[in-house]
Amino acid sequence: MTLLSAMAPILIFDFDLKSDIKYWRISDDVQMGGRSSGNFKLNAEGHGLFEGDVSLENNGGFSSVRYSFERLLIKDSKKVVIKLKGDGKNYQFRIKSNSRDYYSYISTFATSGEWQEVEISLKDMYPSFRGRKLNQPNFSNDYIEEITFLIGNKKQEKFKLLIDKIELK
């Protein structure tokens, strides 16, 4: 007898030319007086395209794109797998178990300039608020309601991140 321990992946979002991206929202440092500007759209190949400029003016320094969705049960999932193509810069991937929480659980990943699969262990995602790690346990919830991609490398820079698929395994 063989036990199958591999669960089917849980799809968070799979971009294509027909994707409805109206629930993907840009959140830049302009809410705090900064001057960064991000943009999110589907490109000609049907990938999610998050691009723009990070500015350090007026104490700015970040741009993000956020996707909120119906509460998703993830208690048997161990990791997030993201197929993406970056620009060689570092980005943060963030999750919230409750979209109303003031803090997020975050992980930083590097991009290579080529298509890659980024794997992020859920248990290694730590709680953070406004760039400060909180003195709370790492992620261990059974649900998520929001994901975010954020760039904030403490420097002025242009950025471009293509996203193909986000799933839990």
- 160 forms bridges with which residues in the sheet? 51
Domain 10-159 CATH (choose: 1.10.3470.10, 2.60.120.430, 3.40.50.1400, 2.40.170.20): 2.60.120.430
Task: Please answer whether residues 73 and 117 qualify as being in contact, where contact means their C-beta atoms are separated by less than 8 angstroms.
Answer: no
pLDDT at 5 > cutoff 50 = no
- Average pLDDT across the chain, whole number: 94
pLDDT at 82 > cutoff 90 = yes
Q: For CA atoms 27, 29, 32, 34, give the dihedral sign.
A: negative
Question: Can you say how many angstroms the Cα of residue 167 is from the centroid of all Cα atoms in its chain?
Answer: 12
| pLDDT score recorded for residue 33 | 87
Q: How far is CA 90 from CA 17, 63, 93, 116, 136, in A?
A: 27, 13, 10, 13, 24
Residue 151's Cβ-count burial label (10 Å; 0-12, 13-18, 19+) is buried
pLDDT at 60 > cutoff 50 = yes
Confidence grade of residue 1 (pLDDT, cut at 50, 70, 90): very low
Please choose, from the candidates 7, 3, 12, the residue with its C-alpha nearest in 3D space to the C-alpha of residue 96.
12
Task: Please answer whether residues 86 and 112 qualify as being in contact, where contact means their C-beta atoms are separated by less than 8 angstroms.
Answer: yes
Give domain limits for the chain: 10-159
pLDDT digits (tens, 9 = 90+) for 10-51: 999 999 999 999 999 999 998 888 999 999 999 999 999 999
